[in-house]
Amino acid sequence: MRATHEHEWEAAPGLPEPLPPGEKILWQGAPHWYALAVHAFHVRKLAIYFGLMLLWQALSLQHDGADLVDIAISLSKSLSLALTALCLLGMAAWWSASTTLYTLTEKRLVMRVGIVLSLTFNLPLRCIRSAHVKPLGQDQADIALELPPGDRIGWFHLWPHQRAWHLRHPQPTLRCIDDAERVGALLERTWLRAQHASSPAKVTSSTPAQPSGDRKSTRLNSSHTDISRMPSSA
């Protein structure tokens, strides 16, 4: 039986084209879905908000003289709506994580993202100016990549795989990855080796229809930096 994977148009999982001869995959990973739900879809913040709204509703009904039965019925309706919203966000986070694949090779970082329409972004390592690390705890982190001014990817094309509040110059981000310290150290070593390439590089992207195609900052263009040195908690 022939082995298959979800994205049949890919030459290999996460790659729209075969890698050039001699170029090897060093690491592949995806966001942790629960961490993505908490930090990108803000499920925890919304749960706190809904809890406060339910408490306010209960106090208001009690102040208006409603009996316990009416209060319980009203709260159960509101609670069901809140749980539905949180479940939908959790499912969106899980779906986003399950359809995402980050691939680090000896020369590039490839990001396959998108739930309905998959997009693949090819980021040559020599075009990355710096990396910004946001520890999330439990050896998880976001690693945002700063691109040269001439290379720009649309904010909505990247979401939720982008650094928050950077709208004018969006930064592609490895969101909520596990074993972040090891991945960060590997990314830095690979980046330093890639700097010996002299030809200019541009960021490219492809779609399924065209298969051929606040934080701690770490400046990769400094020989004294170490992307792996991150606090153990946010």
Is the distance from CB of 92 to CB of 179 less than 8 angstroms?
Answer: no
pLDDT(225) > 50? no
Confidence of residue 202 (pLDDT cuts 50, 70, 90): low
Nearest Cα to 36, choosing from 185, 136, 165, 119?
136
The residue among 207, 227, 201 whose CA lies nearest residue 216 is: 227
**CA distances, 135 to each of 104, 143, 232 (Å):** 20, 9, 7
pLDDT score for 9: 65
Cα separation, 183 vs 177, in Å, equals 9
| CA gyration radius, the chain | 22
Q: pLDDT tens digit string along 3-53?
A: 334 455 676 788 888 888 888 999 999 999 999 999 999 999 999 999 999
**In the predicted model, what is the mean pLDDT of residues 89-94?**
96
Q: What is the pTM of this model?
A: 0.78
In single-letter form, the type of residue at position 226 comes to D
Per residue in 62-72, pLDDT (tens digit) is 988 888 999 99
For residues 84-94, average pLDDT: 96
d(CA 91, CA 142): 21
pLDDT score recorded for residue 14: 81
Residue 139 DSSP class: T
